């Protein structure tokens, strides 16, 4: 896994500039959507709202595995498209929590359909900020059903001041960094890989 990540860093790295992250009133880290030049730090790199999801994600040291998976799944062009998309982006540590050998198996060409299914399960059409998610949760009486691009559902809830996602297998992931604005949507960093049915 580490060798795969090192190779991907060498092939996918782009120049970045440092910037300071800001926190919203709910304590969740986010970038201000109102300023076109504002950026937030993710994985040690500045995420610029003038760049698309892929252009930003390749710079995050915390998302090397996700970027490798997106490439293996053939989803780069899709996530560079107009969107907008809401992406729940698992960190490297989230992928490391999967059973040993899972990632190496999924990135094999013969497993591309399964990998596409898992990755598109982390994407919702439209730009849903943390505020939008929390409003949907309140309106839904404590939970909000999100239809993913894959066709399955994620259930969003509040837990300890954070938005959490319950997948179709009962797994729970927490949004650890919200509202990382992109030119074609928004990324919310999560600590687990969500799995479709």
What is the arithmetic mean of pLDDT over 55-84?
90
Tell which wins on pLDDT, 191 or 18: 191
Total-model pTM: 0.80
Domain of 110? 2-190
What is the pLDDT at residue 180? 92
Q: How many other C-beta atoms are found inside a 10 Å radius of the C-beta of residue 45?
A: 24
Task: Look up tokens 């969107």; give the residue.
Answer: 83
Of 42, 2, 49, which is closest to residue 21 (Cα–Cα)?
Answer: 42
The tokens for 155 are 């259930």
Can you give the CATH number for the domain in which 103 is found? 2.30.180.10
195 found inside a domain? no
The tokens for 121 are 């399960």
What is the pLDDT at residue 2? 42
197 found inside a domain? no
Mind listing the pLDDT tens digit for each residue in 29-55?
A: 443 333 344 788 888 888 889 998 998
The tokens for 196 are 């479709």
Please answer whether residues 89 and 173 qualify as being in contact, where contact means their C-beta atoms are separated by less than 8 angstroms.
Answer: no
SS (H, E, C) 154-178: EEEEEECCEEEEECCCCCEEEEEEE
Number of domains in the chain: 1
Name the band, by pLDDT with cuts 50, 70 and 90, for residue 88.
very high
- Quote the CA–CA distance of 197 and 152 in Å, as a whole number: 8
Residue 7, CA distances (Å) to 52, 63, 97, 115, 188 in order:
23, 14, 21, 20, 25
114 found inside a domain? yes
196 found inside a domain? no
Assess whether pLDDT exceeds 60 at residue 82: yes
At 188, phi and psi to the nearest 5? -120, 120
Mind listing the pLDDT tens digit for each residue in 144-180?
A: 999 999 999 999 999 989 999 999 999 999 999 999 9
What is the pLDDT at residue 43? 84
50 found inside a domain? yes
10 found inside a domain? yes
Tell which wins on pLDDT, 44 or 113: 113
Task: Look up tokens 């999801």; give the residue.
Answer: 53
């Amino acid at each position: 896994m580490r060798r795969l990540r090192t190779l991907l860093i060498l092939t996918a790295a782009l120049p970045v500039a440092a910037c300071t992250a800001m926190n919203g009133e709910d304590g969740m880290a986010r970038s201000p959507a109102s300023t076109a030049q504002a950026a937030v730090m993710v994985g040690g790199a500045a995420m610029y709202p003038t760049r698309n999801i892929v252009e930003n994600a390749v710079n995050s040291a915390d998302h090397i595995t996700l970027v490798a998976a997106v490439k293996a799944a053939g989803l780069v062009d899709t996530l560079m498209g107009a969107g907008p998309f809401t992406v729940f982006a698992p960190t490297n540590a989230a992928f490391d929590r999967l059973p040993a050998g899972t990632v190496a198996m999924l990135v094999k060409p013969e497993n591309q359909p399964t990998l596409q299914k898992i990755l598109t399960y982390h994407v919702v059409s439209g730009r849903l900020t943390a505020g939008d998610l929390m409003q949907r949760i309140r309106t839904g009486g404590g939970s909000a059903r999100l239809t993913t691009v894959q066709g399955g559902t994620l259930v969003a809830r509040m837990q300890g001041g954070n938005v959490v996602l319950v997948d179709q297998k009962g797994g729970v992931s927490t949004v650890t960094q919200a509202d990382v604005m992109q030119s074609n949507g928004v990324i919310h960093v999560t600590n687990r890989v969500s799995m479709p049915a």
